[in-house]
Amino acid sequence: MPFLVCTKCRGYYQLQEGESPDDFQDKCQCGGDLEYIESMNMDTLEETDLEEAENQESQYNFQSPQNHDNQGLIGNFDVEDDDEKEFAADAGIVQPIENNKRSLSVNLFRISAVMVVMALLIISLGVITSKSDNYSVFNFNVYEKYSDEEINTFMESAFSPNDYGNSYDNVGKWNLNVVRIRVMGSPTSEDLKTLDKAINDINTNVKDFRLEINDKNQMEPDMEIYFIPHSEFTQYSVNPSEVDGFALWRVSTSDIYGGNSAGEIYKARVFIGIDGLSQDRRSHVIVHELAHGLGLHHNTNQNSVLCVNGPDLTEFSDLDKTMMRILYRKDILPYMSRNQVETILNNSRENFF
């Protein structure tokens, strides 16, 4: 009978009747190449190979080629035993390809199972949202649930029936991936810190939408933020004695700046008064007017920077961040009516089943 011999460890396997070299892998388990020979003559082996074979024979009780009568295996033990299979692998015994295929199938199944679990975890991250500063790309806010307070405050901010003489009946929001900002006038270093923090909060919470300050870009900005004296407010038809800041928009249905953001916002101007105000008051006006620049209006909730006659909050509250996420949901579109938005948000209430 012919043999398969490993060129590295010199282990060998005697082919049985009906077996072919094609039934086996090209490599021994030690990594050596398999060589097909018609017969084995120990006299032709090099002296070192003979010594190695004798050492293996002594260590594992192997039979010599002349006494080989155990189903063509080198050793006289049953390789179905798990521990002895390990000995056989160490000794360079060539195992039939069916065993290797079975092991490969088991490994592939385990790998597939792990990949399925990982895929389910990734999907879960996208569906299960959290209301935190780390609102990541995996958080699709159309699945977020809101409290009654959050929804009611948002509806008041988006559809103010009487906001200093203005009535807002339709959604106003940006439909750009990046809103380029240019800062103009005379801001203090604290003003810029407050502005940077507010922009970062917006970018963290609103998906697929970013505000970016780019003063060096020669292109016309999407949003202009002016830090100017109150007296200059009159250039924009605003009484400086009434406000410390204000915002104007240009929307898809109009080519002039105005006080109604209904529709798709494509330009905005934000004005901050710089004289006669403490730094805390100026910081509050910055975040307040920047929220207006997004398309949100006043409300009466003391926990929001948009509260009329409320506390001078100098950064966005959790409530404000939630309102931003609601406004920039993918299913809430520019110029939607109050009834349309209510229908969407009623399905997102925390107590909705």
For 126-160, give the DSSP string.
HHS---SS---TT--GGG--B-HHHHHHHHHHHS-
Q: What's the CA gap between 267 and 157, in Å, rounded?
A: 20
Q: State the pLDDT at residue 93.
A: 45
Q: State the pLDDT at residue 84.
A: 43
Q: What's the CA gap between 255 and 257, in Å, rounded?
A: 7
Residue scoring higher pLDDT (244 or 100): 244
User: pLDDT class for 64, splitting at 50, 70, 90?
Assistant: very low
Q: State the pLDDT at residue 312.
A: 96
For the ranges 105-114, 176-185, 255-264, the maximum mean pLDDT occurs at: 176-185
Q: State the pLDDT at residue 238.
A: 81
Lowest mean pLDDT among 24-33, 60-69, 162-171: 60-69
Q: What's the CA gap between 213 and 174, in Å, rounded?
A: 16
Residue pLDDT, tens place only, 317-330:
999 999 999 999 99
Q: DSSP label at 42?
A: G
Q: What's the CA gap between 326 and 342, in Å, rounded?
A: 12
How much of the chain, in percent, has pLDDT values that exceed 70? 71
For 270, list phi and psi in degrees, rounded to 5.
-120, 130
Q: State the pLDDT at residue 183.
A: 96
How much of the chain, in percent, has pLDDT values that exceed 90? 44
Q: State the pLDDT at residue 232.
A: 94
- Residue 285 CA: distances (Å) to CA of 244, 245, 247, 308: 7, 6, 11, 12
Lowest mean pLDDT among 38-52, 75-89, 322-336: 75-89
Would you say 204 and 134 are in contact if contact means Cβ atoms under 8 Å apart? yes
Q: State the pLDDT at residue 330.
A: 92
User: pLDDT class for 102, splitting at 50, 70, 90?
Assistant: low
Q: State the pLDDT at residue 4.
A: 77
Close Cβ partners of 291 (under 8 Å, ≥ 6 residues apart): 305, 306, 316, 320, 324
List of long-range contacts for 187-191, beta carbons under 8 Å, 24+ apart? 187/227, 187/272, 187/274, 188/274, 188/279, 188/282, 190/279, 190/282, 190/283, 191/227, 191/272, 191/282, 191/283, 191/286
Where along the chain do its domains lie? 3-95, 147-346
Lowest mean pLDDT among 28-37, 97-106, 138-147: 97-106
User: pLDDT class for 163, splitting at 50, 70, 90?
Assistant: low
Q: State the pLDDT at residue 124.
A: 57
Lowest mean pLDDT among 38-42, 113-117, 327-331: 38-42
Q: What's the CA gap between 51 and 125, in Å, rounded?
A: 61
> Is 276 strand, coil or helix?
coil
Mean pLDDT over all residues of the chain?
A: 78
Residue scoring higher pLDDT (178 or 21): 178
CA dihedral 99, 101, 102, 108 (to 10 degrees): 150
- Per CATH, domain 147-346 is 3.40.50.10800: no
Lowest mean pLDDT among 43-52, 71-80, 157-166: 71-80
Structure tokens at 230: 């109150």
Q: DSSP label at 278?
A: -
Q: State the pLDDT at residue 226.
A: 96
Residue pLDDT, tens place only, 205-249:
998 889 999 877 778 899 999 999 999 999 987 887 789 999 999
Q: State the pLDDT at residue 13.
A: 76
Supply the pTM of this predicted model. Answer: 0.60
Q: Residue 7 pLDDT > 60, yes or no?
A: yes
Helices (H), ranges, 18-69: 47-60
Q: Residue 52 pLDDT > 60, yes or no?
A: no
